[in-house]
């Protein structure tokens, strides 16, 4: 997929710059046309001669070519690019990119680039872990840049930790995947519910569950990569979407989640109900903290929460798709089939808490997809992003 693609390879002044030579070589081998833009510090680590020989193009570092006065247009390079890859990206360049400090060709090109930008940080572990670096990387993420997280291993300082630039082979694979990801959900509006709900007992206590939102957010990110316009209605979680285009509406309780979903659903093509919604809420939450000293053992009377999936399932018109989840501990298939029918769903994703490494808080999941038209497919244990792909492919097939 990289054949004929115009790639701007930005190189900054870090030890990992030696790996950029391999990265450049691999990109060229894949048929990409590569323009190297290097920072002045980058040239201290790797010579422009090597880079221009491998790319077949003069390496750009300065705003002007000194002897001819020729102007190197960062705007033209930015517009030429199908993708810009900054590898290695030092803490300094990341900070400049996050704050628009355009004092070299690399950062000015970055600010002019309309194409997707991939950033592969590389630095010592303490620099990487510093709140300043983390904040700047989060800022780049919020601009929609793709962060290729560094990996753990031995660093130039001989310390061991997270900070090694991702291997060139893997960076090429990420770019290749990016250009080969089909966008079958382009033009579709998708509503995803994610995370737990909290049902207040009093101002400091709630009834909740162990959901972390990982599966729902993985679905939201993957759907965005497949071209969809995605809104997540999310219960309280500590995670964020990776894709900048994913809109998040934060709620606390099932009732609030239901209100948001019913408002959004008429304008949605697909609703994926991944949240672990509390079935019951305290009937009358206390307005002040329940005190142990003053009261008898409290009795909390519960009322039923709205079933959001069933509400949307009943409201759906032809062309809309509603997908539910069934997280079961026993009689898995029977329960899932019952939910599929009772909630008027088009598809149900079954996972069992009996499966090792599946369900709440794990990074993996093992699912069975059952559709209303009778198909039934078991999938092996996979990472949640891979599971998200399987679910979205099954929805696309519908």
Q: Identify which of residues 74 and 316 has a Cβ nearer to ligand C5P in the complex.
A: 316
Q: Identify which of residues 59 and 394 has a Cβ nearer to ligand C5P in the complex.
A: 394
Rule CB under 6 A: is residue 305 a binding residue for ligand C5P? yes
| Residue-by-residue DSSP string for 170-216 | HHHHHHHHHHH---TTTT-EEEEEESB--EEEETTEEE-----SHHH
Rule CB under 6 A: is residue 308 a binding residue for ligand C5P? yes
Measured CA to CA, the distance from residue 250 to residue 147 in angstroms comes to 24
**In this chain, which stretch among 28-36, 241-249, 300-308, 380-388 interacts with ligand C5P, using CB under 6 A?**
300-308
Rule CB under 6 A: is residue 309 a binding residue for ligand C5P? yes
Measured CA to CA, the distance from residue 304 to residue 288 in angstroms comes to 23
**In this chain, which stretch among 13-21, 68-76, 322-330, 381-389 interacts with ligand C5P, using CB under 6 A?**
322-330
Q: Identify which of residues 37 and 336 has a Cβ nearer to ligand C5P in the complex.
A: 336
Q: Identify which of residues 13 and 216 has a Cβ nearer to ligand C5P in the complex.
A: 216
Min. distance of Cβ 332 from ligand C5P in angstroms? 11
* Bridge partners (DSSP) listed for residue 207: 199
Sign of CA dihedral 308, 387, 391, 3: positive
The distance from CA 363 to its chain's CA centroid, rounded to whole angstroms, is 14
DSSP designation for 60:
B
* Cis peptide upstream of residue 263 (ω within 30 degrees of 0): no
The distance from CA 52 to its chain's CA centroid, rounded to whole angstroms, is 35
Answer for the pair 369, 344: CB distance below 8 angstroms, yes or no: no
Is 393 part of the annotated catalytic residue set?
A: no
Rule CB under 6 A: is residue 336 a binding residue for ligand C5P? no
Min. distance of Cβ 277 from ligand C5P in angstroms? 4
Min. distance of Cβ 278 from ligand C5P in angstroms? 7
| Residue-by-residue DSSP string for 352-381 | ETTSTT-STT-SEE--EEEETTS-EEE---
Measured CA to CA, the distance from residue 271 to residue 313 in angstroms comes to 9
What's the chain's Rg over C-alpha atoms? 25
Q: Binding string, 133-162, against ligand C5P, x = CB under 6 A?
A: ------------------------------
Query: Binding residue for ligand C5P (CB under 6 A) from 136, 325, 365, 389?
Result: 325
- Which position has the token pair 């994703």? 349
Q: Identify which of residues 91 and 327 has a Cβ nearer to ligand C5P in the complex.
A: 327
Min. distance of Cβ 392 from ligand C5P in angstroms? 15
- Given the residues 209, 335, 344, 393, select the one marked as catalytic: 209
**Who's near 158: CB < 8 A, 6+ residues apart?**
none
Rule CB under 6 A: is residue 168 a binding residue for ligand C5P? no
Min. distance of Cβ 307 from ligand C5P in angstroms? 4
* Contacts to ligand C5P from residues 248-277, by CB under 6 A: 254, 273-275, 277
Rule CB under 6 A: is residue 326 a binding residue for ligand C5P? yes
Query: Binding residue for ligand C5P (CB under 6 A) from 150, 282, 324, 359?
Result: 324
Q: Which of 325, 191, 319, 306 is closest to 258 using CA atoms?
A: 306
Q: Identify which of residues 33 and 328 has a Cβ nearer to ligand C5P in the complex.
A: 328
- Which position has the token pair 């000015």? 108
Q: Which of 380, 394, 310 is closest to 347 using CA atoms?
A: 394
| Residue-by-residue DSSP string for 326-338 | EEESSSHHHHHHH
**In this chain, which stretch among 26-34, 52-60, 224-232, 323-331 interacts with ligand C5P, using CB under 6 A?**
323-331
Rule CB under 6 A: is residue 387 a binding residue for ligand C5P? no
State the residues that interact with ligand C5P by CB under 6 A.
193, 254, 273-275, 277, 279, 305, 307-309, 324-326, 339
Catalytic residues: 209
């Amino acid at each position: 997929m990289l054949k004929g693609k115009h790639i701007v390879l930005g190189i900054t002044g870090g030890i990992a710059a030696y790996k950029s030579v391999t990265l450049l070589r691999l990109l060229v081998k894949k048929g990409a046309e590569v323009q190297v833009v290097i920072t002045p510090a980058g040239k201290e680590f790797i010579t422009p001669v090597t880079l221009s020989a491998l790319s077949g193009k003069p390496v750009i570092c300065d705003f002007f070519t000194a002897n001819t006065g020729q102007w190197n247009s960062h705007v033209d390079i930015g517009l030429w690019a199908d993708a810009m890859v900054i590898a290695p990206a030092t803490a300094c360049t990341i900070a400049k990119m996050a704050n628009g400090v355009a004092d070299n060709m690399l950062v000015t090109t970055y600010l002019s680039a309309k194409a997707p930008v991939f950033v592969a940080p590389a630095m010592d572990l303490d620099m990487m872990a510093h709140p300043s670096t983390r904040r700047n990387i989060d800022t780049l993420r919020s601009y929609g840049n793709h962060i290729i997280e560094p990996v753990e291993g031995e660093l130039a300082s001989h310390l061991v930790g997270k900070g090694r630039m991702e291997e060139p082979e893997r960076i090429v694979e990420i770019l290749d995947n990016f250009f080969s990801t089909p966008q079958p959900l382009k033009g579709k509006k998708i509503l995803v519910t994610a995370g737990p709900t909290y049902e207040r007992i009093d101002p400091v206590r709630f009834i909740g569950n162990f959901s972390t939102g990982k599966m729902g957010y993985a679905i939201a990110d993957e759907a965005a990569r497949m071209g969809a316009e995605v809104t997540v209605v999310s219960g309280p979680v500590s995670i964020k979407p990776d894709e900048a285009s994913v809109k998040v509406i934060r709620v606390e309780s099932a009732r609030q989640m239901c209100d948001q979903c019913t408002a959004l659903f008429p304008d949605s093509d697909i609703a994926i109900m991944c949240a672990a919604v509390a079935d019951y809420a305290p009937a009358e939450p206390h307005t002040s903290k329940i005190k142990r000293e003053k009261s008898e053992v409290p009795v909390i009377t519960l009322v039923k929460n709205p079933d959001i999936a069933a509400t949307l399932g009943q409201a759906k018109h032809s062309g809309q798709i509603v997908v539910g989840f069934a997280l079961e501990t026993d009689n898995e298939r029977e329960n899932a089939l019952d939910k599929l029918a009772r909630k008027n769903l088009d598809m149900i994703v079954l996972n069992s808490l009996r499966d090792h490494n599946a369900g709440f808080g794990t990074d993996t999941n093992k699912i069975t997809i059952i559709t209303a038209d009778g198909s039934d497919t078991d999938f092996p244990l996979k990472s949640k992003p891979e599971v998200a792909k399987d679910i979205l492919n099954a929805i696309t097939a519908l």
